[in-house]
Amino acid sequence: MVSLASIQVLEICKDAAGGAGNIFAFGLFVSPIPTFQRIIRNKTTEQFSGLPYIYALLNCLICAWYGSPLISLDNILVTTVNSVGAVFQAVYIVLFIAYAEKAKKLWMLGLLLAVCSGFAVIVLCSLLIVDFEVRRIAIGFLSCASLISMFASPLFVINLVIRTRSVEFMPFYLSLSTFLMSTSFFLYGIFNFDPFVYVPNGIGAFLGTVQLVLYAYYKSASEEDTREPLLESCS
């Protein structure tokens, strides 16, 4: 009876963490909207790069496939969040292509075709693996590597913040959304005993924490710097 109660508690905690992760992920998915508002308003992509959206689409597709019942059991919330993410990224890519200059448009179309073809190959090859556990491990490692590389991308921004002592290029709400989503899915993976979920998201939660700490430190430091001249002028 105690064992059954423990399983039920774990199931509730897992669903709660996964549901929270889906909600917090929405903050990440809508973060590029101001950029695309500017692109639509100016009718040009200017110096913006479309590569982050191409890579995010591939990452969402791979992770959504890992969460599907054909690959892993009881990971449907991983599929839902990444399916929604894939839709957002697809819309961003279409908008980017629509307003890009010809050379960049052709480049983005080629990359989009490569992503779709690559994902189709991944799906077909994984379905050819008869052993379910081997299939889960193969796609699990692939999704884990994809997530870790995605979470590692803010390392450039972290380095920039430390060098410039400015948080201008590290939006607070984007860092907060990353931290909350990663922490939620880290707990989801723990409750579901799935290392392919909790390992990459644990790394993401750690990096999100680093970003928030740096933001708090350099934000307060910059505020003190702006107050010092005022104090000197009053003395």
Q: Of the segments 108-117, 144-153, 223-232, which one has the largest average pLDDT value?
A: 108-117
Which pLDDT does position 175 carry in this prediction?
84
Which range among 120-129, 181-190, 204-213 shows the weakest confidence by mean pLDDT?
204-213
Which pLDDT does position 193 carry in this prediction?
93
Q: Which of 156, 189, 230 is nearest to 63 (CA)?
A: 189
Q: Which two tokens stand for residue 49?
A: 């790069």
| pLDDT tens-digit series, residues 93-106 | 999 999 999 999 99
Q: Which of 224, 201, 195, 157 is nearest to 17 (CA)?
A: 201
Residue 59 has pLDDT above 70, yes or no: yes
Q: Which residue did the predictor score with more confidence, 53 or 220? A: 53
| pLDDT tens-digit series, residues 154-180 | 777 788 788 888 777 677 888 888 899
